[in-house]
């Protein structure tokens, strides 16, 4: 079976994906997943990267891998492309190949929604999004499922006003103006140097930061990392791939440990929490398994 991006789009819903990603991250932190750190091959002459991401989720019997490319300079085509292959865990037989670009987009936002649900204040009502690309759009959809926002502000270097008009948001004139007084902040830009600063933040804010996934890239400044309680999707992956986590030097927990009740969530209304996501293979195969299961149901209907 081969599933195109349009097939995936018709089979994958965010409200179903969020709990699937929560289960995958809980299993990862509980030792029920075999997942090596992503292998990244630089494509230096074209300023790109090629990644290989395998995982086996024993509890669910899900075996698969994603091949993904990241070419941040792309303008006419997306910066990310991917293919995901699932195999039958009992025999190793190939089951399905599917386009993984949309899955990458959606599972990243779903993981942020999982983190927001357990870390953000229950009364959070102002959302700020730094960025205007596919991750900004996907995060807007996902976070609205776990919190009710009365105001959403957007900023990006180039397209904030178009993005805001399209989704009926408030366009901010600067990143600082966007995050001032916000309860939840999403950093979804292509920045390799900090775009969010600690002295801009209000007490009690929760931050989802999903970019700068190379050890020499940053999207958050030192002051922010010093005051935030940092949570990650995978300690092993984040400590090797995220320049922000390397700079932070202290991770409170994996979000899966919080979901499992092994580590604490937010401790006070004034605490600043940060979920730093690098994206891990178990998220991809969990999303792909959901797509595959929905495809089989559709075929049998």
Instruction: Look at residue 185 and tell me whether its pLDDT is greater than 90.
Output: yes
Instruction: Look at residue 76 and tell me whether its pLDDT is greater than 90.
Output: no
Give per-residue pLDDT as tens, 228-275. 999 999 999 999 999 999 999 889 999 999 999 999 999 999 999 999
Residue 20: its pLDDT value, please? Answer: 98
Residue 301: its pLDDT value, please? Answer: 80
- C-beta neighbour count of 10 within 10 angstroms: 14
Mean pLDDT of 61-79: 92
CA-to-CA distance for 40 and 283, rounded, in angstroms? 18
Residues spanned by CATH 3.30.1780.10 within the chain? 2-103+281-300
The count of C-alpha atoms lying within 13 angstroms of the C-alpha of 141, restricted to the half-sphere facing its C-beta, is 17
Mean pLDDT of 173-195: 95
- C-beta neighbour count of 285 within 10 angstroms: 31
Query: In whole numbers, what is the pLDDT of the chain averaged over residues?
Result: 95
pLDDT classification of 72: cutoffs 50, 70, 90: confident
- C-beta neighbour count of 209 within 10 angstroms: 29
- C-beta neighbour count of 173 within 10 angstroms: 10
Instruction: Look at residue 82 and tell me whether its pLDDT is greater than 90.
Output: yes
Give per-residue pLDDT as tens, 124-151. 999 999 999 999 999 999 999 999 999 9
pLDDT classification of 75: cutoffs 50, 70, 90: confident
- C-beta neighbour count of 21 within 10 angstroms: 28
Alpha-carbon dihedral sign for residues 64, 33, 247, 176: positive
Mean pLDDT of 195-211: 96
Mean pLDDT of 26-34: 97
Residues spanned by CATH 3.40.50.720 within the chain? 121-276
Best CATH choice for the domain 2-103+281-300 from the list 3.40.50.800, 3.30.1780.10, 3.30.1330.100, 3.40.190.10: 3.30.1780.10
pTM: 0.94
Mean pLDDT of 53-78: 93
CA-to-CA distance for 207 and 184, rounded, in angstroms? 6
Lowest mean pLDDT among 36-40, 74-78, 279-283: 74-78
Residue 104: its pLDDT value, please? Answer: 95
| 121-276: CATH number | 3.40.50.720
pLDDT classification of 3: cutoffs 50, 70, 90: very high
Percentage of the chain beyond pLDDT 70 is 100
- C-beta neighbour count of 43 within 10 angstroms: 12
The strand pairing partners of 217, in sequence order, are none
Residue 90: its pLDDT value, please? Answer: 95
CA-to-CA distance for 60 and 90, rounded, in angstroms? 12
Mean pLDDT of 63-70: 96
């Amino acid at each position: 079976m081969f599933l195109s991006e349009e097939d995936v789009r018709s089979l994958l819903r965010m409200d179903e994906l969020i709990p699937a990603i929560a289960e995958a991250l809980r299993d990862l932190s509980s030792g029920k997943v075999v997942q090596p750190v992503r292998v990244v091959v630089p494509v230096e002459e074209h300023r790109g990267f090629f990644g290989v991401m395998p995982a086996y989720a024993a509890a669910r019997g899900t075996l698969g891998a994603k091949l993904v490319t990241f070419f941040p300079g792309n303008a006419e085509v997306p910066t990310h492309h991917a293919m995901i292959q699932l195999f039958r865990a009992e025999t190793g037989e190939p089951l399905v190949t599917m386009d993984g670009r949309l899955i990458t987009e959606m599972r990243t936002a779903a993981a942020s929604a999982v983190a927001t649900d357990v870390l953000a204040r229950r009364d959070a009502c102002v959302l700020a999004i730094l960025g205007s690309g596919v991750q900004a759009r996907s995060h807007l959809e996902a976070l609205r499922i776990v919190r009710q926002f009365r105001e959403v502000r957007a900023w990006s270097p180039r397209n904030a006003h178009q993005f805001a008009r399209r989704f009926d948001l408030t366009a901010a004139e600067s990143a600082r103006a966007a995050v001032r007084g916000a309860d939840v902040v999403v950093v979804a830009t292509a920045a390799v140097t900090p775009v969010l600063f600690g002295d801009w933040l209000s007490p009690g804010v929760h931050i989802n930061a999903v970019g700068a996934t190379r050890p020499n890239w940053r999207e958050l400044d030192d002051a922010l990392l010093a005051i935030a309680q940092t949570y990650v999707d995978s300690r092993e992956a984040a400590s090797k791939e995220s320049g922000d986590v390397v700079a932070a030097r202290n991770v409170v927990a994996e979000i899966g440990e919080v979901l499992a009740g092994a580590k604490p969530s937010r401790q006070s209304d004034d605490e600043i929490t940060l979920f730093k996501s690098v994206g891990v293979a178990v998220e991809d195969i969990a999303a792909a398994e959901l797509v595959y299961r929905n495809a089989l149901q559709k075929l049998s209907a």
